[in-house]
Amino acid sequence: MSSSLAKEVVWITGVGAVEGLGAALARRFAQGGYKVAVSGRSPEKLNAVVRSIEAVDGEALALPGDAGSEADTLAAIQRIREWGPLKVAIFNVGNSVVAPTLELSTELFEQTWRASTLGGFIFARETTRLLLENGGGTLLFTGATSALRGKPPFAAFAAAKAGLRSLSQSFAREFGPQNVHVAHVVIDGAINGERIRSHAPQRFEQLGDDGTLALDDIADAYWYLHSQPRSAWTQELDLRPYKEPF
């Protein structure tokens, strides 16, 4: 089958648990008719996500790797090039680091920057090359409140996410006129997923009904960004529960 007739591909990196945002995005785009490539550091979790998509007759491919590794990203890009035409790329890596600033090690700060900022650049550079080859497409970044304001004890995370936000703006200004829709999504609030339920159950209970962002609702917002007509593209979208203060 020629690439012009092949089923189009979405690649999502930063995919973990089945009840996480990356997996929810994968399911949403699979429902929209895309073949879904998923990347993350855990092959076991990726395989579980692939099975969940295949269970509803979707097509999925697991590409384990480290977002901060250029070699891993280039290897994944080659697999995707062989699999089908890339039309959507989503950088969903989130490595929140909590540490008092004066106790924050250089190594931890660099690890955070490498995953979120350097990894975002490598991912965006390589996927944009493919999107341009395929006539354009969509490049989305998952951001956080910390991208807009830094505060303790999130110095490393805030610096990394602010860098990623600036990166998204740079790519949007350069490649929007070439038919690549680049958008940054600010997640302002706790996500109702595996992480908060397993690591902070008391906080989850305190937030109460509709106090967290529902996975499927976030995924619908990403789909909306991808579906926008190019006469009215959004570059940044912020999402929060209705009772989240801001």
pLDDT one-digit tens code per residue, 205-215: 888 889 999 99
Q: How far is CA 30 from CA 8, 94, 95, in A?
A: 10, 22, 25
115 within 8 A of 160, measured Cβ to Cβ: yes
Bridge partners, residue 191, by sequence: 213
Helix (H) / strand (E) element for 125: namely helix 119-133
- What are the extents of the domains in the chain? 9-187+213-238
Q: Is the pLDDT of residue 1 over 50?
A: no
Q: Report the alpha-carbon distance of residue 133 to residue 17 in Å, rounded.
A: 32
* pTM of the predicted structure, to 2 decimals: 0.95
The top-level CATH class assigned to 9-187+213-238 is alpha beta
Q: What is the pLDDT of residue 159?
A: 96
Q: What is the pLDDT of residue 94?
A: 83
Q: Is the pLDDT of residue 5 over 70?
A: no
**DSSP secondary structure of 57-121:** T--EEE----TT-HHHHHHHHHHHHHH--EEEEEE---------GGG--HHHHHHHHIIIIIHHH
